[in-house]
Every structure is written in structure tokens, then in C-alpha cells.
Amino acid sequence: MKEEDKTGWLMLIPAVTVLAFVFAYPIARAFWLSLFTENLGTQLQPIFSGFTNYIRMVGDGRFWQAIWNTFVFTGISVLLELVLGISVALVLNQAFLGRGIVRTISMIPWALPTAIMGLAWAWIFNDQYGVINDILQRLGIINVEINWLGDPTLAMIALIVADVWKTTPFISIILLAGLQSIPQDLYEAHSLDGAKPWQSFSQITLPLIMPQILIALLFRFAQAFGIFDLVQVMTGGGPAGSTETVSIYIYATVMRYLDFGYGAALVVITFLLLIVAVGLTALLLDRVRKSGQGGLF
């Protein structure tokens, strides 16, 4: 091993140690607890039961519904945030009067606490006093109030809208950093060759900011998959479990039903699903990036 490699590994030891305590130990502990049955039926005394909790999970319809809800919420919200984030980043990258102030204001949604923001959106979508219904009625689009948070489909839409509003600035600021690293000479040379703006965007901008897109999507995918506070404040997982995510279900299993063994099994499976999903997303985006370098864009 080269001396530089030895130095690099030596400097990684503190970070790896911290990660081991922060991530590895809790997951290992959760896996150990998942091998026991510990609930009100056992007077909260752990009884070794092997993989019984995992077998139980196979027939748990509520768990699979929560998984489906989580993937729907994550997929739609992250996709919308990416499209809007790129659009906002392109605007903020332009030179105009008051650009600094606009950039600062655009970050306010991301800076707000999620619980407070979720409560505000719950009132915005309130069927009797909400701003959304009031605007739609004033415009003559609807005659009666829409129960946004009482309908399964509309409740999920309301959650996605709230999440997109809050987290789009996060993606836009990451992509803005990537845009500012692109030399303007590339665009000037491309325009001299007769390229149109959309061609410059697809052939220069997208390939060069693909690393930032990858980072933003990985962060947002992990955050959206583990969403809890926004759902808990706005819908609590209702109506009828239509917006119940995996995090909400795990919370109810452990804190409401005091089923610690099964809750630990849910944590382990959710962690594995998240790792697989993030890994596949990273692999796909990496292939897109390499294809872009080969001329896809």
C-alpha cells in the first residue's frame, strides 16, 4: 500500500468509527431485538422467537400498504422536486437586480421547521377554512368545499404539494452550485457554432451537473423515504391508512401497540429496502451520467 493510501485510511478511521456507532450499532441492535417477541402479550418480557417477526411481516397487509404509500410519495415528490429544482436553479443562476435577495428568500421554505410548516399546510388544505378552497370558490371552479385531507387520493396530493414546496429549495441550491462551476466560455463557443439554448442545456448543462443531481436525488430519496413529521402533522397516516408511510407504521407499532420485537423487524426490513432503493438509484444515475458523457445529451 502506498504511503498516501495509508494516510488516507488513517484519516478515515475517526469518521468510520463515528458512523459505526451512529448507524451500524443501532441497526445491529435492532436486528437482535427483531429475533425476540416482546409485546403486551409477553408482559414486555423478551422471548426468543427467531425469524417469527419476519414471517409475520409477509402477511401484514398494513405493512405492504405503508410500503406502497412510501414509494408513491417518494417517487412523485422527488421527481417533481428535481424538475422544479433545476428550473429554479437556472433562474437563480442568471444575473439580475436583487439576485442575492431572491436567493435568500427562496431558501426560506427549506429553513422552516417541518412540523410548523406541516401545520400551516394542514390549515391551507382545511375543507372549511382553508385558503385553497376559498381561492377555488372565488374563481368559480368549485361550488362546495373539497375535503382535501379526508379523501385518500387528495390527501396524498396535499402531502406531496407540501413536501415539494419545502424541499425544492434544497435541490435548487445544490444544482445552483453545479451551474456556477460551469465556465461561460463553453456556452459562448457553443452558441457560435449555432447551438440553440435548449441544445446548450441538454449538451452542456445537464451532463456537467449530473454529479450534483446524483447527490441531490440520493439525499432527497433517503429523506422522503423516511418521512415522518410532515405526515404525522398533516394527516396522521389517514384517512384509512391511505397516507401511512413506513415510519408512521413503525412509530404506531412501537409507541402505540408496544410491540417492540415486531417494530425492530420493521426497522431492519425498511433499512434494507432503503439501501437497495438508493443503490439502484445511484447505479441508474451513474449510467445516465456516463451515457451523457458519451453523447446521450
Choose between 293 and 110: higher pLDDT.
110
pLDDT tens digits, 31-46: 999 999 988 888 888 8
Residue 297's pLDDT is 37
CATH 3.30.420.40 is held by the domain 60-293: no
Q: Is 147 left (phi over 0), alpha (psi -120 to 50) or beta?
A: beta
Nearest-5° angle of CA 65, CA 217, CA 89? 130
Task: State pTM to two decimals.
Answer: 0.87
Calculate the average pLDDT of the chain: 88
Helix (H) or strand (E) run with residue 178 in it? helix 152-180
Give the pLDDT band of residue 293 (cuts 50, 70, 90).
low
Query: What are the b/e assignments for 212-223, b being 16+ CB within 10 Å?
Result: bbbbbbebbbee
Mean pLDDT for 191-195 is 77
pLDDT > 70? residue 296: no
Mean pLDDT for 231-247 is 93
Read off the C-alpha cell for 142: 368549485
Residue 1's pLDDT is 59
Choose between 194 and 258: higher pLDDT.
258
Give the start-to-end residue ranges of the domains of the chain. 60-293
Pick from 12-21, 59-68, 80-89: least confident: 12-21
Mean pLDDT for 15-23 is 84
